[in-house]
């Protein structure tokens, strides 16, 4: 009886219509070293392969604009064909950089709650507009001496408008920790000096390629993993946070994910290992392609809160 | 001829096996042999006109050739550009696509570059490709003398493909040379008058629809490209810098300070809507509306789209309402964005912007009356301080008034072409115009008696006791029939809109049209001069104010005042006495005072319903004519005299009877029949009379005063220059007693309509027009009913339309006299119950009677 009554009132507003889903939005800039997996991250997110909305809190992921749609094409025509994405060119005009608009529909964490159900939609919408800067911006432009160049100025201006910065770091590139910390420090200071833009910024440090065994085992402890592998980067972020400039959080992700449930193994084929100790890999089996940890940082960038189910995904 | 070049800028290292490896893009070009890369060439690259799709380059380079048009006005030459796109590797093991561009000045140079590249290929078995170690190259390539452009004519089979008005696609064939491709493309380009552009050995292009000839690298590519092109418009010749526009839109979406982006948008405001649609949809406009995506960047994008593509404004208004509800922040974003846009737009192309904004408002009106959008949303759009559309408010009000004025003048004959607002919104008003005006203009029937409410014995108003008292539900019994009402109810949103916009007159007008009555608050706000007013005219429509229960009671009390007053006089001392006894001094005193005040509140003047129809002009004492005007008027008096003679003879050809006309003219101008001397006008010898000067000056004074006070001339001159001028026509109409005709016609229509059940007023009017021989006679706009604009220009037009009635009546009378049906002399007049009136009524009833 009670459950029937709950069902009756659940998801219904006074006029009998289900309430409109809450909409959360964020403008995000994805930064990181060359080949840290930024575009692959975005392509895997937009493609959202082998979706399982019954189990996953993520119901759908849909591109909104043509740039977003182009990610799906890339995922299908390149990643699923066992190829790697080409490096994103460093565009001299930051407005010509692709701006991926994507809508993610999530199950509402609180929609089950009888006290909140009446005026709560079963879903939450995340609308993100996300520019994936060429790795050269982070690896090269930030370190150039002429920081007043128009390219640098435009990128910084563009970055200032973003509420969220997602810094992607290849989990295995820990040798570059000092270099990354230096780049990040420079970026944060430049943004701070420039002023304006959004009042409070969120920075998500996302370790990518966490399908790699040494990262996989610690994937549920992102902060610990980040601290142990990239102590200087974490220190830079902590300092920035302490200055009251915004908030930070840590995430682990894999664009390619794992295969198998009982004895999971990375869904990748290693193809090269360069001098920097960076493993490069391609998707092994597109049929079972299931990335993980891609939506959790976005939810946090939109809300400032962690989503338990997404963290466990 | 020299060929310049430049390449994708990369950091690189050369491996021991002499291959290059990219260490990242520099964001610039390298190996540049020109001082500066031509702007238009850079823009063509930014527009992806040389771009192949990522992941589709093969070991064999793709080659893309294109003539890039310069700008003659800026002295920028055309450039022939060939890009060779090939792939290499980067230090992370990834494939990198890089381009090497060759370019030479002039549109004719493409053939030479192609011939030179073929020459290199013959020598080295490869086209010249990307080679970063040419870093030090700073000089252009000199073409060896043995390289010559040879004439290549497409064969018949190829011509069939080339002659089709779309991109020509050719399958892979080893025999192709760049010279051959270029010659074929050239053939097609000349036929279609387009710049040459071709692609060679490509798997997939970013924008294949922007090529006139593509030679594909594989059969799969042939099918793929063909499929893409089939769904796209062929736009090889487009000179719109799409990338620049996209960037401008993105920049504004992301709210970067962007006066330059606004300039770009302003520059392209004229391009066709289809193009804009595509640009906005590329940024997600379509999905944002459909999926109700209320993110701040979409608030900006869709606001911008609603400005640039006025057709999208109605949907936008619905969407933005949702966006505001979804997040209060969106309201601020929406307004702040408009404010900053407006600021920047006003510094660039203000006039084009104004046109776009005004178009948007016009698009909104049909949607408003169809209730697709709410009056509230439109009102906010037009009044919010930061709203970019608020600048359209005055124009909208002016346009609406102009249209209503036009409809008032021409009624069902209103020409759509002259309407300023979309004609569809006035369709019902025009169709039912006669019904609305005739039935809603009971004319002289309105009298204090029947306008008042009557109370029954129990003191409550009886239902339907008066034709002009409206029931509380807002519908007049005198209002148009139910069918008409349902067609006219669509105007209620306009009434609500103008109420919100505080344009109370328009609001009152549309309440009258849609509900048959005007709410009291709106009426009083619109016509604040007299708070007791219950009716007034506006654009040919009698607006009737809702009468409240209180007023009905007061009306009743007024009517019964004497009786009540006498009763009060009898009751009052007793009441006072009783009150003092029962309630005590103060309380009793207050009660008596209140009770007495109700009765005493009735006006002291004789009771009447204040009726604001224009009264016949009252004549103030004649003013003296200023000397300067008098002098000129005296000099022109002979002309004036001839003009007045013309008026007189127009009315009465019998010379003997012309004397009788002058008193009428005198009365029309001075209010006094005998003031003006007839001889001064009619007698050519009068000038010799000693009183002539005095009498003439009286005429001048009368004309001057008539012009100044009655006709409201800005510069009265005391002259009548022609028999067709405004002054002359005013005299004519007065002589023809047109004010009588004006009263009588609506009465005639109403009488017939009341008698013949099922006949509409519009039918009667149309039959009347036919009967008196002019189907184009105008009815509203002050011609017969309504009010006119005060402009002199309109007055002249109005007079002309009124004189058409006079002429029609006169010719009807003449015709009937000939037929012996009328004994009355033709006089162009229609008076209540005169012979013409009776005959006309009888004939109309016969015509309209169902039997």
Q: What is the pLDDT of residue A141?
A: 81
A236-274, pLDDT tens digit by residue?
Answer: 999 999 998 899 999 999 999 999 988 999 999 987 645
Check whether B843 has a pLDDT greater than 70.
yes
**Interface membership of A200 toward B (CB under 8 Å):** no
Q: What is the pLDDT of residue B479?
A: 47
CB contact under 8 A, A271 and B93: yes
Query: From the list B55, B243, B281, which residue is nearest A77 (CB)?
Result: B55
**B148 or A71: which leads in pLDDT:** A71
Q: What is the pLDDT of residue A308?
A: 87
Closest Cα in chain B to A197:
B256
Residue B756 structure tokens? 């013949």
Check whether A231 has a pLDDT greater than 60.
yes
> What residues of chain A lie within 8 A of the CB of B91, using their CB?
274
**Interface membership of B94 toward A (CB under 8 Å):** yes
> What residues of chain B lie within 8 A of the CB of A139, using their CB?
24
Lowest pLDDT segment from A101-105, A218-222, B336-340: B336-340
Q: Write the DSSP assignment of B474-536 as a string of letters.
A: S--TTSPPHHHHHHHGGGHHHHHHHHHTT-HHHHHHHHHHHHSSB-HHHHHHHSTT-TT--EE
CB < 8 Å from B in window 267-296 of A: 271-272, 274, 278, 280
* Phi-psi map region of A33: left, alpha, beta (phi>0 left; psi -120 to 50 alpha): beta
Query: From the list A96, A140, A280, which residue is nearest B46 (CB)?
Result: A96
CB contact under 8 A, A64 and B27: no
CA nearest to A25, candidates B704, B300, B429, B757 = B300
Check whether B3 has a pLDDT greater than 50.
yes
Q: What is the pLDDT of residue A279?
A: 55
> What residues of chain A lie within 8 A of the CB of B325, using their CB?
20
**B135 or B731: which leads in pLDDT:** B731
CA nearest to B548, candidates B558, B534, B560 = B534
pTM, rounded to two decimals: 0.70
Confidence of residue B475 (pLDDT cuts 50, 70, 90): very low
CB < 8 Å from B in window 58-77 of A: 62, 64-66, 68, 74, 77
CA nearest to B198, candidates B177, B224, B227 = B177
CB contact under 8 A, A274 and B92: yes
Query: From the list B54, B91, B327, which residue is nearest A23 (CB)?
Result: B327
**A84 or A195: which leads in pLDDT:** A84
**Interface membership of B227 toward A (CB under 8 Å):** no
Q: Which of B9, B25, B327 to mutate to test the interface with A (most CBs of A within 10 A)?
A: B25
Q: What is the pLDDT of residue B476?
A: 41
CA dist B721 and B709 (Å) reads: 19
How far apart are the CA of A225 and the nearest CA of chain B, in angstroms?
Answer: 24
B319-345, pLDDT tens digit by residue?
Answer: 988 888 887 777 778 777 777 777 677
Check whether B473 has a pLDDT greater than 80.
no
Share of chain B above pLDDT 70, in %: 83
Confidence of residue B576 (pLDDT cuts 50, 70, 90): low
CB contact under 8 A, B297 and A27: yes
Mean pLDDT rounded to a whole number for chain A: 87
CB < 8 Å from A in window 107-126 of B: none
Q: What is the pLDDT of residue B124?
A: 92
* Phi-psi map region of B76: left, alpha, beta (phi>0 left; psi -120 to 50 alpha): beta
Lowest pLDDT segment from B83-97, B337-351, B640-654, B673-687: B337-351
- CA dihedral for A137, A138, A141, A147, sign (positive or negative): positive
**Interface membership of B600 toward A (CB under 8 Å):** no
Confidence of residue B626 (pLDDT cuts 50, 70, 90): confident
- CA dihedral for B496, B498, B499, B500, sign (positive or negative): positive
Confidence of residue B470 (pLDDT cuts 50, 70, 90): very low
Q: At what angle do helices B585-600 and B561-583 cross, to 10 degrees?
A: 170
Q: Which of A60, A64, A81, A183 to mutate to test the interface with B (most CBs of B within 10 A)?
A: A64
Q: What is the pLDDT of residue B68?
A: 94
Taking residues B683-692, report their average pLDDT: 77
Q: What is the DSSP letter of A261?
A: S
Confidence of residue B285 (pLDDT cuts 50, 70, 90): very high
Check whether B804 has a pLDDT greater than 60.
yes
Q: What is the pLDDT of residue B350?
A: 67
Q: Which residues of B93-104 are buried (b: 16+ CB within 10 A; e: fewer)?
A: bbbbbbbbbbbb
**B606 or B167: which leads in pLDDT:** B167
Confidence of residue A285 (pLDDT cuts 50, 70, 90): very high
CA nearest to B426, candidates B450, B386, B399, B449 = B399
**B260 or B451: which leads in pLDDT:** B260
How far apart are the CA of A197 and the nearest CA of chain B, in angstroms?
Answer: 9
Q: What is the pLDDT of residue B582?
A: 52
CA dist B678 and B655 (Å) reads: 12
**B161 or B67: which leads in pLDDT:** B67
A159-170, pLDDT tens digit by residue?
Answer: 998 999 999 999
Lowest pLDDT segment from A291-305, B437-451, B661-675: B437-451
**B104 or A308: which leads in pLDDT:** B104
Check whether A6 has a pLDDT greater than 80.
no
Residue pair B34/B4 in contact (Cβ under 8 Å)? The answer is yes
A180-218, pLDDT tens digit by residue?
Answer: 999 999 999 999 888 777 778 999 999 999 999 999 999
> What residues of chain B lie within 8 A of the CB of A91, using their CB?
27
Query: From the list A85, A103, A140, which residue is nearest B293 (CB)?
Result: A103
Task: Give the number of beta-carbon pairs within 8 Å between A and B.
Answer: 131
Residue B546 structure tokens? 């809702």
Q: What is the pLDDT of residue B649?
A: 82
Query: From the list A65, A158, A271, which residue is nearest B283 (CB)?
Result: A65
CB contact under 8 A, A65 and B248: no
Q: Write the DSSP assignment of A10-67 as a string of letters.
A: TT--TTSSPPPPEEEEEEEEEEESTTSSHHHHHHHHHH-TT--TTTSSEEEEEE-SHH
**Interface membership of A105 toward B (CB under 8 Å):** no
CB contact under 8 A, B95 and A84: yes
CA dist B195 and B199 (Å) reads: 14
A78 three-class SS:
coil
Query: From the list A65, A93, A158, which residue is nearest B256 (CB)?
Result: A158
**Interface membership of B639 toward A (CB under 8 Å):** no
Lowest pLDDT segment from B236-240, B280-284, B398-402, B819-823: B236-240
**Interface membership of B13 toward A (CB under 8 Å):** no
Residue B646 structure tokens? 């013309």
ipTM of the complex: 0.90
**B210 or B165: which leads in pLDDT:** B210
Q: How far is CA B410 from CA A122, B785, B806, in A?
A: 58, 12, 17
Instruction: Classify strands B213-216 and B197-202 as parallel, antiparallel or unpaired.
Output: parallel
Q: What is the pLDDT of residue B597?
A: 39
Q: What is the pLDDT of residue B367?
A: 92
Q: What is the pLDDT of residue B346?
A: 66
Q: What is the pLDDT of residue A8?
A: 43
Q: What is the pLDDT of residue B851?
A: 62
**Interface membership of B287 toward A (CB under 8 Å):** yes
Q: Which of B21, B27, B252 to mutate to test the interface with A (most CBs of A within 10 A)?
A: B27
Any idea of the CA torsion for B718, B722, B725, B730, to the nearest 10 degrees? 70
Q: What is the pLDDT of residue B584?
A: 46
Element (DSSP H or E) covering residue B541: strand B541-544
CB contact under 8 A, A65 and B297: no
CA dist A191 and A285 (Å) reads: 41
**Interface membership of A151 toward B (CB under 8 Å):** yes
CB contact under 8 A, B294 and A127: yes
- What is the total residue count of chain B? 851
CA nearest to B650, candidates B803, B434, B540 = B803
Q: What is the pLDDT of residue B414?
A: 82
Taking residues B81-110, report their average pLDDT: 93
CA dist B737 and B829 (Å) reads: 7
**A206 or B528: which leads in pLDDT:** A206
For B216, residues 6+ apart whose C-beta sits below 8 A from its C-beta are: B169, B170, B171, B172, B201, B202, B203, B222, B225
CB contact under 8 A, A65 and B282: yes
Check whether B185 has a pLDDT greater than 90.
yes
Q: How far is CA A202 from CA A165, A241, A244, A246, B297, in A?
A: 6, 9, 11, 6, 18
Check whether A113 has a pLDDT greater than 70.
no
Confidence of residue B391 (pLDDT cuts 50, 70, 90): confident
Q: What is the pLDDT of residue A240?
A: 95
> What residues of chain B lie within 8 A of the CB of A99, using their CB?
250, 254
Check whether B481 has a pLDDT greater than 60.
no
Share of chain A above pLDDT 70, in %: 87
**Interface membership of A14 toward B (CB under 8 Å):** no
Instruction: Classify strands B541-544 and B535-538 as parallel, antiparallel or unpaired.
Output: antiparallel
Taking residues B344-354, report their average pLDDT: 71
Check whether B467 has a pLDDT greater than 70.
no
Check whether A109 has a pLDDT greater than 80.
no
CB < 8 Å from B in window 107-136 of A: 125, 127, 129, 134-136
CB < 8 Å from A in window 30-49 of B: 46
Mean pLDDT rounded to a whole number for chain B: 80
């Amino acid at each position: 009886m009670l459950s029937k009554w709950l069902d009756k009132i659940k998801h219904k507003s006074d006029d009998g219509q289900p309430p409109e889903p809450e909409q959360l939005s964020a403008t995000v800039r994805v930064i990181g070293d060359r080949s840290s997996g930024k575009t692959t991250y975005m392509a895997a997110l937009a493609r959202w392969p082998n979706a399982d909305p019954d189990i996953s809190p993520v119901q759908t992921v849909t591109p909104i604009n043509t740039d977003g749609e182009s990610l799906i094409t890339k995922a299908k025509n390149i990643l699923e064909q066992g190829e790697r994405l080409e490096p994103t060119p460093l565009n001299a005009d930051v407005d010509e950089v692709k701006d991926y608009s994507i809508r993610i529909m999530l199950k509402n964490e609180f929609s089950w709650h009888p006290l909140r159900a009446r005026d709560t939609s079963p879903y939450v919408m995340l609308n993100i507009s996300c520019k994936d800067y060429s790795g050269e911006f982070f690896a090269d432009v930030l370190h150039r001496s002429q920081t007043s160049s128009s390219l640098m100025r435009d990128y910084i201006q563009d970055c200032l408008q973003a509420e969220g910065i997602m810094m992607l770091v290849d989990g295995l590139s820990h040798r570059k920790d000092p270099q990354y910390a230096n780049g990040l420090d420079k970026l944060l200071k430049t943004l701070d000096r420039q002023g304006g833009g959004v009042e409070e910024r969120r920075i998500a440090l996302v370790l990518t390629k966490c399908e790699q065994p040494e990262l996989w085992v610690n994937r549920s402890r992102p902060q610990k993993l980040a601290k142990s592998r990239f102590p200087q980067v974490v220190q830079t972020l902590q300092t920035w946070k302490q200055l009251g400039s915004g908030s930070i959080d840590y995430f682990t992700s894999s664009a390619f994910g794992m295969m198998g449930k009982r004895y999971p193994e990375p869904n990748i084929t290693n193809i090269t290992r360069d001098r920097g100790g960076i493993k490069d890999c391609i998707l092994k089996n597109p049929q079972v392609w299931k990335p993980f940890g891609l939506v959790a940082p976005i939810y946090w960038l939109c809300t400032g809160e962690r989503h338990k189910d997404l963290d466990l995904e | 001829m020299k060929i310049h070049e430049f390449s994708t800028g990369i950091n690189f290292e050369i491996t021991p096996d002499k291959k290059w490896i990219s260490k990242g893009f520099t964001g610039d070009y390298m190996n540049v042999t020109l001082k500066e890369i031509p702007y238009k060439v850079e823009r063509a690259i930014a527009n992806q006109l040389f771009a192949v799709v990522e992941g589709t380059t093969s070991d064999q380079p793709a080659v893309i050739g294109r003539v890039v048009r310069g700008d003659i006005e800026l002295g920028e030459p055309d450039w022939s550009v060939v890009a060779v796109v090939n792939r290499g590797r980067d230090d992370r093991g990834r494939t990198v696509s890089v381009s090497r561009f060759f370019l030479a000045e002039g549109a004719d140079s493409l053939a030479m570059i192609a011939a030179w590249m073929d020459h290199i290929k013959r020598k080295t078995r490869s086209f010249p490709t990307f080679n970063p170690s040419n870093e030090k190259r700073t000089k252009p390539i000199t073409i060896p003398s043995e390289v010559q452009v040879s004439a290549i004519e497409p064969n018949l089979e190829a011509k069939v493909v080339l002659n089709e008005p779309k991109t020509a696609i050719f399958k892979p064939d080893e025999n192709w040379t760049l010279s051959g491709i270029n010659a074929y493309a050239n053939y097609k380009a000349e036929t279609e008058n387009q710049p040459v552009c071709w692609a060679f050995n490509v798997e997939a292009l970013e924008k294949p629809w922007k090529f006139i000839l593509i030679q594909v690298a594989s059969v799969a590519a042939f099918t793929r490209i063909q499929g893409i092109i089939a769904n796209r418009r062929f736009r090889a010749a487009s000179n719109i810098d799409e990338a620049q526009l996209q960037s401008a839109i993105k920049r504004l979406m992301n709210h970067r300070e962007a006066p330059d982006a606004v300039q770009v948008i302003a520059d392209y405001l004229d391009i066709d809507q289809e193009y804009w649609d595509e640009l906005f949809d590329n940024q997600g406009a379509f999905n944002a509306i459909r999926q109700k995506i209320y993110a701040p960047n979409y608030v900006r994008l869709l606001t911008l789209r609603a400005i640039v593509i006025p057709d999208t404004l109605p949907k936008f208004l619905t969407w933005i309402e949702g966006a505001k509800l979804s997040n209060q922040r969106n309201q601020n974003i929406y307004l702040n964005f408009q404010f900053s846009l407006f600021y920047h737009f006003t510094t660039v192309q203000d006039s084009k912007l104004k046109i776009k904004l005004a178009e948007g408002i016009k698009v909104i009106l049909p949607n408003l009356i169809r209730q697709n959008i709410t009056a509230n949303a439109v009102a906010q759009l037009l009044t919010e301080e930061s709203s970019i559309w608020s600048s359209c408010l005055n124009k909208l009000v002016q346009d609406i008034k102009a249209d209503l004025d036009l409809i008032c003048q021409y009624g069902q004959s209103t020409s759509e072409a002259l309407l300023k607002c979309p004609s569809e919104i006035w369709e019902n008003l025009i169709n039912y115009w006669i019904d609305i005006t005739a039935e809603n203009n009971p004319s002289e029937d309105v009298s204090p008696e029947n306008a008042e409410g009557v109370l029954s014995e129990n003191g409550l108003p009886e239902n339907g006791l008066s034709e002009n008292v409206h029931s509380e539900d807002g519908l007049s019994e005198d209002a148009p029939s139910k069918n008409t009402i349902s067609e006219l109810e669509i105007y209620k949103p306009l009434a609500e809109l103008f109420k919100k916009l505080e344009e109370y007159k328009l609001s009152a007008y549309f309440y009258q049209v849609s509900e048959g009555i005007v709410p009291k608050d709106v009426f009083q706000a619109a016509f604040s001069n007299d708070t007791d007013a219950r009716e007034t005219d506006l654009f040919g429509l009698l607006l009737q104010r809702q009468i409240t229960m209180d007023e009905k009671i007061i009306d009743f009390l007024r009517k019964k005042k004497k009786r009540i007053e006498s009763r009060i006089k009898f009751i009052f001392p007793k009441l006072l006495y009783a009150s003092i006894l029962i309630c005590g001094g103060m309380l009793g005193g207050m009660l008596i005072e209140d009770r007495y005040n109700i009765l005493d509140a009735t006006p002291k003047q004789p009771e009447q319903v204040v009726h604001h129809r224009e009264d016949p002009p009252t004549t103030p004492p004649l003013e003296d004519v200023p000397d300067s005007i008098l002098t000129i008027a005296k000099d022109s008096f002979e002309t004036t005299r001839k003009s007045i003679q013309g008026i007189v003879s127009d009315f009465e050809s019998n010379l003997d009877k012309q004397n009788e006309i002058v008193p009428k003219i005198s009365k029309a101008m001075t209010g006094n029949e005998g003031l003006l001397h007839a001889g001064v006008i009619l007698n050519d010898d009068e000038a010799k009379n000693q009183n002539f000067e005095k009498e003439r000056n009286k005429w001048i004074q009368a004309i001057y005063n008539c012009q100044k006070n009655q006709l409201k001339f800005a510069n009265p001159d005391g002259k009548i220059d022609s028999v067709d001028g405004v002054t002359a026509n005013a005299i004519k109409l007065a002589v023809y007693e047109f004010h009588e005709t004006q009263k009588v016609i609506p009465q005639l229509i109403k009488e017939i309509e009341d008698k013949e059940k099922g006949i509409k007023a519009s039918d009667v009017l149309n039959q009347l027009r036919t009967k008196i021989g002019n189907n184009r006679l105008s009815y509203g706009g002050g011609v017969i009913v309504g009010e006119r604009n005060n402009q002199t220009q309109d007055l002249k037009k109005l007079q002309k339309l009124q004189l058409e009635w006079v002429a029609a009546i006169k010719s009807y009378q003449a015709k009937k006299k000939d037929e012996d049906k009328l004994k009355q002399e033709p006089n162009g007049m229609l008076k209540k119950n005169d012979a013409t009136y009776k005959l006309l009524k009888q004939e109309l009833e016969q015509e309209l009677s169902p039997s």
